Structure 1
Amino acid sequence: MPPVVAASVSSAFDKIGFWSPNTASVDWCESNYVVSFYIAEFWNTISNIACFFAAAVGYYFFPGNERRFRLMFAAFGLVGLGSVLFHGTLRHKMQLLDELPMLYSATMIMFILVEAKHGPQGFTTFIFSTTGGQLQFYTFQSTYTALQFAMIYFLRVLHVQQRAIRGPNPDVSILIRRAFASALFAVTIWLIDLRLCEFVNGVGKKSILRWNPQLHAWWHVFSACALYHATMLIVYYHYDVQDMRPFVDVVYGGWIPVIRLHHVQRPKNKFLR
């Protein structure tokens, strides 16, 4: 069946490829099967490298050995894999492998933030597995958005609570600013790609651009950046409320923040100012 929510609006998007016909509930603003006969949306597929990299760095560097964080970063990587399968095929079942891990990872984050008050959402899985089209697309978007707002709320509560106890922490403030700025930019270009595709696709008569900037692919990059910084905040506050003295360190030339526990004296001027 054709996509019910179609960002694509030009016949240039209708090329036939290995996985045709498209059965996903949405077709993003990238011409299908242009780069490869075997990959429906090439740039939207390979841009998930950012998600794999962020998940691997988070998994490798998080302090301690708690299963919850291993699962959280593993789920982060699973989101990237599901996105590769979805954008590479534009098949409905592969779309579920993209969207369900996003919901599960968000639920894991909520579980960590509210200390086991939220468990797996089995009913959500049932909805996404048995519905399609517009209902499935908008149910996913509303559920995931609600979880994201809940995460922001609890992070804010923890930030205010711990700041009142320990005072301002410039390194944590940098994490918050980076997470917020990346998320805001990511959501903005996601909406442009979905709602204004005909003006930015580079192929339609109404396009004001001569080439497609592949905004959904950049959404993958900046949303991975935002989620990574958010997970660093989650790890930080998890240990901070337990009085385990976490601090923000950086790796890979001073660009990527990680959380460490204060077993040794903290090096000075490690975080980029």
Structure 2
Amino acid sequence: MADVISSFSGRVTSTTEWCEKNYVYSPYIAEFFNTLSNIPCILLALIGLVNSLRQRLERRFSVLHVSNMVLAIWNILYHATLNRVLQQSDETPVIWETLLYIYVLYSPDWHYRRTMPTFLVLYGAIFAIVHWHLQSGICFKVHFLILCLLCIPRMYKYYLYTEDLYAKRVAKLYAVTLVVGTLCWLFDRVLCKDSWLVNPQGHAMWHIFIGFNSYFANTFLMFWRAQQRGWAPRILHYMGILPYVKIRKPKAQ
């Protein structure tokens, strides 16, 4: 949408807007549904963080859940204001978080453990500087896609080596929410029409699906890592619905 108007948060300066008219429901929120749809991601990440801390899992998983929350908060600020600086502040952490997933996925089999985090930190810093100066949405999207494609084969490998049926189900939920969320994103981006009587809010649905996707990814990775460490993980469910990991560490640990 090309609604360049001035409101509580100032003029719209973002280089990208989505299929939602600006400041329709509130003078304080530019894209109402795209803003509020980040709340489920924050709540799911908080649930995952509490479980990770309670189970005393490795710190990397607490960092993952916190990064999911921080990213959702930045996304709220971006969609609420459509400010270019906040857009940059939203896109760069997306790449950082994806690099964090690459570390969690590949570090267990990495022979030179100190080189991997050093490389990823430098890579993230260089991307932030270059992205700030280029301000290219296309480069960001292509870059993000490539990094995601690096994660998927590793997730599939872990799925193949997982025998627990409930854990496999979590991995399938990860795949389904990723595919459906991506279709919602594409629908909103490519097929947006002002003539719609009702806006299907594809980008807001993307936020919701990707929030669940991140939760399922984190849960599956927590299960897999606990299995590697010999902590006898099990998949249980909150209220019979939301999966989470329960471990039993050997007494010696």
Using the size of structure 1 for normalisation, the TM-score is 0.82
Unaligned runs of 5+ in 1: 1-7, 199-203, 265-273
Q: How does 1:151-230 map to 2 (within 5 A)?
A: 151-160=151-160, 162-163=161-162, 168-198=163-193, 204=194, 207=195, 209-230=196-217
CA distance in 2, matches of 1:154, 1:235: 14
1:255 aligns with 2:241: yes
CA offsets 1:120-139 (integer angstroms, 9 cap, x no match): 2221111222222xxx2111
Q: Percent identity, please.
A: 24
**1:229–1:65 distance in 2 versus 1, CA, 3 Å:** closer
User: 1:75–1:104: 8 Å Cα contact kept in structure 2?
Assistant: no
Letter in 2 for 1:143: H
1:33 matched to 2:36? The reply is no
Instruction: Give the equivalent residue in structure 2 for 1:110.
Output: 102
State the 1:154 CA deviation.
1.1
Structure 1 letter corresponding to 2:128: T
Deviations 1:181-205 (A, max 9, x none): 111111001001011112xxxxx2x
**1:26 match: secondary structure:** coil
Select which of 204, 213, 218 maps to 1:231.
Answer: 218
TM-score, normalised via structure 2 length = 0.88
Equivalent residue, structure 1, for 2:134: 131
How far apart, in 2, do the equivalents of 1:236 and 1:67 lie?
A: 14
Distance in 1 (CA, whole Å) between partners of 2:148 and 2:131 is 18
Instruction: Identify the match of residue 95 of structure 1 among 84, 87, 93.
Output: 87
Deviation at 1:20, TM superposition (A): 3.7
The CA distance in 2 between the partners of 1:260 and 1:127, in whole Å, is 42
8 Å contact from structure 2 (residues 4, 11) kept in 1: no
Aligned with 1:114: secondary structure?
Answer: helix
1:24 to 14, 20, 29: 14
> What CA distance in whole angstroms lies between the structure 2 residues aligned with 1:130 and 1:89?
21
- Residues 92 and 128 of structure 2 are in contact (CA less than 8 Å); yes or no, is this contact kept in structure 1? yes
1:113 and 1:238 in contact (8 A); partners too: no
Separation of aligned partners in 2, 1:185 and 1:64: 32
Task: Report the equivalent of 1:47.
Answer: 37
Which one has a larger percent helix, Structure 1 or Structure 2? Answer: 2
Residue 108 of structure 1 aligns to a residue whose secondary structure is: helix
Tell me the CA shift for residue 18 of structure 1.
2.2
Q: How many residues align?
A: 237
